[in-house]
Amino acid sequence: MWTEHELGITNGNSGVGAAGRKVHVGVPPHPWPMTIPESATRAQIGALGEELAVDHLTALGMQVLARNWRCRYGELDVIATDPSDRTLVFVEVKTRTGDGFGGLPEAVTARKVQRIRRLAALWLAGQDEHWPALRIDVVGVRLGGSRSRELTHLKGVG
């Protein structure tokens, strides 16, 4: 696994675009690698995308409670709280190096949202704390390719 330093990434806050349910962030202030090393595995690319997504969420003021929570039925990428309204947010991170598999809307189907809901219910069953609101967000990270790097944040997808 490469470190952020080896990939040319430094910690920095991503700028946030227009307000609303969909937040689109262009090139963040920290330098992303121009290309992903050819020897990078899918797991390494996914971990890099997840790290960038977590940086984005914390820059928005969210507090990350858990990452890569697993049970026998699947995995939740990021579980965070939005302290402004005490909303518990389950975040699915999708990292792409190109457009070959479609965009963010194609990556998160109704079936995927249903699976996230079931996993969220299992995670909640093991918690002592209660939250007044729950939300499912999707953060899409696009790396590599000829176009500029992008981070797209879809709030409240399910």
Domain ranges across the chain: 42-95+107-154
So what's the pLDDT on residue 11?
A: 34
CATH code at 42-95+107-154: 3.40.1350.10
Contacts of 54 (CB under 8 A, 6+ apart): 64, 67, 78
**Cα–Cα distance between 40 and 44 in angstroms, integer?**
6
Closest C-alpha among 158, 149, 146, 39 to residue 91: 158
So what's the pLDDT on residue 41?
A: 81
What percent of the chain has a predicted confidence (pLDDT) above 90?
49
Closest C-alpha among 142, 149, 140, 145 to residue 22: 140
The length of the chain, given as a count of residues: 158
Query: pTM here?
Result: 0.75
So what's the pLDDT on residue 123?
A: 97
- Please state the φ and ψ torsions of residue 72, each to the nearest 5 degrees: -65, -15
Q: How far is CA 2 from CA 22, 27, 32, 96, 140, in A?
A: 31, 21, 13, 18, 21
User: Within the chain, which residues score under 70 in pLDDT?
Assistant: 1-39, 99-105, 145-149
